[in-house]
Amino acid sequence: MAIDTIVADKKAKKMPMIRITDILDKVRAFLPADDLARIMKAHVYAATVHRGQMRLSGEPYLSHPTAVANILAEMKMDGSSIVAGLLHDTIEDTHTTLEDIENNFGKDVAFLVDGLTKLSKIAFSNKEERQAENFRKMVLAMSADIRILLVRLADRVHNMQTLDYHASEEKRQEIARETLELYAPLANRLGIYWMKVELENMAFSHLNPQAYNALYANVFSKVKEREVFTAGVKEIIAQEMEDAGIAAEVEGRAKHIFSIFSKMQRQRVSFDEIYDLIAFRIILEENNKTMCYATLSIIHARWKPVQGRFKDYIAMPKANKYQSLHTTVIGPNGERIEIQIRTREMHEWAERGIAAHWLYKEEDKQAGDSNKQIEKIRELLEMQQEIDSPREYMSHLKMALFSDDVYVFTPAGDVKEFPKDATPIDFAYAVHTNVGDKCVGARVNGKMVPLRYKLQNGDTVEIITQAVHQPSRDWLKIVVTSRAKSKIKAWIREEDKKRTIELGRDALEKELGKNQEKLSSFLKSEKFSEIIKANSLENTDALFAIIGKGKLSPKSVVNRYLDREEERHEANAKTSSKRKDAAKHDTARVSAAGVDNMMVRFAKCCDPIPGDKIYGFISRGRGIVAHTRTCPHVANVEDDRLIELKWTTKEKEVYPVHMRVICRDRKGVLADVSSAITSQDANIAHAQVKTENKDMEAICTFKIDVHDLEHYRKVVGAVNKLTCVLSVERLRGR
């Protein structure tokens, strides 16, 4: 066809049932007879164990693994991959065990199926954690065998083709968003263009059906006219190739819906302002890079090229090893057209990406490229090993997959690719962790540049190091690669751990000193071993660490060491309502991680009071500081520096709260509001009033003492009953 079919899901809703004979017919051309027998056996096995199970579409469940195997057969995957496609849901959805799979189909297939099995039997706290853990397992397994990811992608393609049968709109949106954010970029990273296009279009049609349908209608509103134009351009190019004696195939296609939408969003233009809707491809039969450039010169001699629209992905391949020449020219009737020029081998890789490895494996034509690409994907494994937070892991994963590539040179002339906006620090960590940690400067193209310099295509980068230098926390604000971020954070965590241990050691040593005891004697005592065992700790540093984090008080450790009963804090102490410093309510009790009666400091930026949901922020040199969960100061703090806190205070202590009351200005307004506050047994520690003559308003600011959140709400309720009051607001972030 002159114009490719754009949207796979439009035709997928009524897909014919795939039969095992269809698969066998496809693979017979490239797989040995033994593999055909294994595939047939796997189909019979899957039919047996899935018997009675149905899809949401009403079809037998077997239709899904058969469809997945068919996609893998079309990708010309090896026999084990196709067998794994047929069996990929057996462990999760039937009584089949991994041992059954291994006994019947061998270790290779068992390994693939195990890597594909979701973590459905493990309880997770939320969807984000489940998604992250599933991806962690998939990345871990794929680091040993990339075929696991290819089968998972084929599985996602068929699930998207049948997504309309999900009754829940929320579930459809969730699956479509995950597909667009993770699976389509993964397909792109692997260079499987057709799969990337299908996944993007199908996800887009569910996430934004209105925009999708409008674009679909616009693209095909003049389909006949475009077919005539496409045929004419193809004929001209074919004639030019024939005249030059170059054997080539010429293709013409409309760009797919999601790529058009993305371009409109990126350039902030309407559909009518997108001129290059049709792309042409010249595929040279001879595997000769020089002929690609010769073809380019012929095209530019025929039509005027558009300035700034030429890209050479042959000399500088994309991260997924895509190679091609791209140019945009002013074609017939003054229309802009995009033309891609590549060899047949480049085209095979461009369409099928890493899956082409199995087609060429016997001749080893693509071994080098595929191995490099597998190493690129395996970097995700290193990232997932160093990031504990599911939210952070998914954020890094998406960033790694969506990056636009920048190509730079090492001083030795080697090419390295980085995401857009990468810095010399990203480059340094790509060379080696030690180079990154000790980076103090950089030369780009022979000139010194700041470390926040953004690398540009073609830059030659040289890193300057110093043996005693260490990373800076500020680097996290400027680096963009997952590797650099994870390495810097790992260093920060290690430094924080050291500081916490030092803090705990110092606190314990001081407490022992108060009792005329020495740390060295304590560490040699039997009581020390008892304390370590009682708290399930591994070593001395672990004890210092939990003291430094505030999870265990040094006084309780010393009291146990000296066989004394732990001193109690004064119970039912009524704090003076006129106390001068809010820090006095630091004696309030909270619990964390099962440790009760923790002593913490309370942040003055948000004034937590019992009833507020609070986090404990592990600060350097100050132990634990409690903040409300909505406090902006902890919004972007790393998860490993926050701990969950709960109030355990039962005594009626008082806590400072700042509030602003806006009233209609009139005589005695401050007295009326103050009276309402004190009527609820709340002390006013400070009061201030300011009038706004322009709006005839009085702004009253109070610092009051309350017992807890419920007490504060009663105060607010009493104040709101005054007819002069316009609004009441709790002040934070002072």
Residues near 621 by Cβ (< 8 Å), separated by ≥ 6? 499, 503
Nearest to 438 by CA among 486, 470, 478, 481: 470
Structure tokens at 328: 């945009």
CA proximity to 701, closest of 693, 690, 709, 711: 690
- H/E element, 339: strand 336-343
Closest by CA to 244, choosing from 290, 298, 286, 302, is 298
- Domains of the chain are 17-165 (1.10.3210.10), 221-367 (3.30.460.10), 403-480 (3.10.20.30), 490-561 (no CATH), 582-647 (no CATH), 655-731 (3.30.70.260)
Residue 378: how many other CB atoms lie within 10 Å? 15
**Per-residue pLDDT, 128:** 65
DSSP character for 365?
A: S
Determine the 3-state secondary structure of 354 from DSSP.
helix
pLDDT digits 0-9 by tens, 429-459: 989 999 999 999 999 988 999 999 999 877 8
State how far the Cα of 726 lies from the Cα of 709, in Å rounded to an integer.
Answer: 22
Alpha-carbon span 84 to 100, nearest angstrom: 13
Element (H, E) at 691: strand 683-692
Mean pLDDT throughout 542-569? 73
**What is the DSSP secondary-structure string of 79-110?**
HHHHHHHHHTTHHHHSS--HHHHHHHHHHHHH
Q: Which residues contact 270 (CB under 8 A, 6 or more apart)?
A: 264
User: 424-431 and 482-514 helices cross at what angle (nearest 10)?
Assistant: 80
Instruction: For 625-684, write each residue's pLDDT tens digit.
Output: 888 887 877 766 665 567 777 787 666 778 889 999 999 888 888 888 988 998 888 888
Give the residues across from 343 on adjacent strands.
284
Relative to beta strand 325-330, strand 304-305 is antiparallel
> Is pLDDT at 70 greater than 90 in this prediction?
yes
Give whole-number Cα distances, 144 to 137, 357, 378, in Å: 11, 16, 9
Between strands 655-664 and 725-731, the pairing is antiparallel
Nearest partner of 505 among 491, 490, 522, judged by Cα: 522
Residue 448's region, left for phi above 0, alpha for psi from -120 to 50, else beta, is: beta
pLDDT of residue 13: 47
Q: How confident is the prediction for the chain on average, in pLDDT? A: 80
Query: 729 with 719: CB under 8 angstroms?
Result: no
Helix (H) or strand (E) holding 274: none
Alpha-carbon distance 228 to 206, whole Å? 32
Beta pairing partners, 253: 279
CB 651 within 8 A of CB 707: no
Would you say residue 521 has pLDDT above 80?
yes
520-546 average pLDDT score = 84
Question: Do 230 and 2 touch, CB atoms closer than 8 A?
Answer: yes
Q: Determine the distance from the C-alpha atom of residue 303 to the mean position of all C-alpha atoms in its chain, rounded to a whole number.
A: 43
Please say if 92 is a catalytic residue: yes
Q: How confident is the model at residue 396 (pLDDT cuts 50, 70, 90)?
A: low
Token pair recorded at residue 361: 């494996």
Query: Given a cut of 50, is residue 584 above it in pLDDT?
Result: no
Under 8 Å CB-to-CB from 707, ≥6 apart: which residues?
Answer: 610, 652, 653, 654, 655
Look at residues 21, 38, 111, 25 and name the one whose alpha carbon lies nearest to residue 79: 38
* Choice among 93, 312, 335, 462 that is catalytic: 93
Task: Specify the pLDDT at position 133.
Answer: 65
Active-site hit among 4, 92, 181, 708? 92
Q: With 80 as the cut, is the pLDDT of residue 30 above it?
A: yes
